[in-house]
A and B are shown apart, each in its own frame.
Chain A
Amino acid sequence: MTIRMSACISIPRHGLTCSGHLSPISLNRITRTSRVMTSGCAFAAFPGHIGYISRLSSIACWLVRCLLIAVIISLTGMGRPAIARPLVAEISSHHITIHSAFEGTELLLYGVRNAPGDMVVVVRGPSRDAIVRRKRRVFGVWVNRESETFPQLPSFYAVASSRRFEEIERSVYFNALGIGYREAITTFHPPAKPGRAPDSEQRTSFATALLADLRRRQLYHDEVTDITFLGEGLFSTRISFPDNTPTGAYTAEVYLFDDGALQGVHTTPIYVYKSGLDSFIFQLANNHPLLYGAMAIILALLGGMVAVRLFKRV
């Protein structure tokens, strides 16, 4: 059995784990590459349909494996805390399929913490640009005036933490990695127009409004969910997804902080995609818009004619 002590990065079946001491910049690069990796293999890496029983058995396997590692470590007397992976995590499913009766779903993220510290789980959806506009009264009518662009905003965002989120010691990582609802929106990006100093006060108020709007749409969770500990280092948390969950490649990131220092990261992908007829319609509308438009018209014409026939008989 090989146990590495230096900074190591290993890529297991579903995701990416790293441990040891890393600078925030290199970490940012790692999470970014992991996101590229996850989206790159979004449709190539489906491991097929894993049954419920096999999923249960895989959970059992994990537990047994973790227990074995712990036993071996204690027996060999190499009981230094940094020896085992500080953080191991897995998610109940890597796939969310959106079907015609989809009303949202919930995933269970679980794992083992082998080192002391506070844990934060972040789930973020594919990023897109957002434009926020503020209304002003012009001649008695409310008109959109000022606008602010928030580039590369996660389209979905949820946070869970092992302690009250406000009590966890803040470090440079929180802003650099966009950990926390506020930080996810105000992650640093170079200004769109060079030379234009960002009006920070205006930007802050726009960011507040943007977060409120995203929460109204249920795309950003209202609160930080709790991470519950089931026993010795064994943790779990539930992540809920609303009915309007955007499709794409998501990442579930588990961070372990100790006194502001990042002790471990585990990233695992979640794929959200449409299935059946909905998938067919969505693909057709996006890839063959002319064909889709023609189909929509023909369908409507047929519908109209069928209605004529139907009600004539009655």
Chain B
Amino acid sequence: MSIYLPIAQMSVDVWSLLLLGGMTGILSGVFGIGGGFLMTPLLIFLGIPPPVAVASVANQIIASSTSAFHTHWRRGNVDFRMGVLLLGGGIVGSTFGVWLFSFLKELGQIDLVISIGYVLFLSLIGGSMALESGRTILQQRRDKHRAAVEDAEAAEAELTRDSDTVAHTPDLERGEEGQTEAPPKRLSPMRRFFSHLNIWSRLPFVMRFPRSGLQMSALIPIMLSAVIGVLVSILGIGGGFFMIPAMLYILKMPASVVVGTSLFQVIFVTSNVTILHALTTQTVDVILAVLLLLGSTTGAQLGSRVGLKLPEEYLRAMLASIVLVVAIQLGINLVTTPDHLYSVTFGEAATP
């Protein structure tokens, strides 16, 4: 059964769209991510023009984020003060990003920028996630033999004390007792890297974030989300993918509020991207977005039920491997001789 998409101006098989939405929905349910980074490339693979795919997926992410946000909001896992700051930066960044997108499109280099951007960030995030989860899995196995749980806690406490990047109020779960010395090699390279950026502690406009138990300059989340906002509009994804690691490792927010706050921010940033695409490129296909939505909400429900039964470290390792596979595939496409050396873009329909 096929359906005609009015904006993409082509007909597509309904079942393949529902299946695609369902698959990414299952992934987002299991791993708690948006899944836009997989949906956009797969839609392009189905033959949908890239600008339509990017804009319609942004529209669909609003819906999936809303339903996911609702659950987190009910449980009170949203830091609204932080969310509003992130939102401000995100809107500025994504507006600039959409402008940059149309500029690069005019130059004919947008496809290249998208591919290189995906390869760089997917391999960075996938690599660090794989390292982290691999280390955690190995450590857990060692812990079973030694039953030395305090060791891990000491490493955590060492981290919080050692990295004076932000004025940090210790979290409840981290505890005060584990203040023994721990070897610094336990720290992941990402954490070590950001703990050396001491400039951040000297920035003005220091704010308190009671829900996250943090105190830092308001400029940090704004700048951070502005940078991510640019990536969001260029790569055509929700941004939770970059936002969640950044909130965990750079802002050092507690894991419990990270997902809810990120979803809160994503709803508004993708709304901004949708409006901007509707105004400038006219590539938002509502029919496509609704079909993807139907698939992904069903998939997300299935996925979250599966996700609850699996241990977190293994989930992260699985997600890391999916991310790395996508990154490697895109990287291979960049360097191997393409099937078609020539690409064609059409201008506006000429009015006689």
Binding site for B on A (CB under 8 A): 35-36, 39, 98-103, 126-135, 140-144, 147, 152, 155, 206, 209-210, 212-214, 243-244, 246-248, 274, 277-279, 281-282, 285-286, 289-290, 292-297, 299-301, 303-305, 307-308, 310-311, 314
Contacts and interface: CB of A to CB of B under 8 A. Distances in A.
B275 A293 contact: yes
B60 interface: yes
A300 B293 contact: yes
Contacts of A126: 349-350, 352
Contacts of B343: 132-133, 135, 144, 213
Contacts of B66: 300-301, 303-305, 308
**9 tightest A-B CB contacts, nearest first:** A304-B66, A293-B278, A129-B347, A209-B342, A300-B62, A278-B6, A307-B297, A300-B63, A244-B10
Interface stretch (B208-216, B217-225, B283-291, B319-327): B283-291
Most A CB within 10 A of own CB, among B64, B67, B267: B67
B203 interface: no
Contacts of A243: 2, 4, 10-11
Contact of A297 (B70, B271, B287, B338): B271
Interface residues of B, number: 57
A146 to B, nearest CB: 10
A286 B282 contact: yes
B352 A292 contact: no
- Majority-rule SS of B interface residues: helix
A13 B265 CA distance: 59
Nearest to B109: A144
B120 interface: no
Given A100-B3, A127-B352, A311-B297, 8 more contacts: A36-B352, A126-B349, A128-B349, A129-B350, A131-B344, A285-B284, A293-B284, A314-B301
B329 interface: no
A293 B67 contact: no
B67 A143 contact: no
Contacts of A35: 352
Contacts of A247: 9
Contacts of A303: 63, 66, 290, 293, 297
B109 A305 contact: no
B292 to A, nearest CB: 10
A141 B287 CA distance: 36
Interface string B36-74: 000000000000000000000001101111110111000
A309 to B, nearest CB: 9
B346 interface: yes
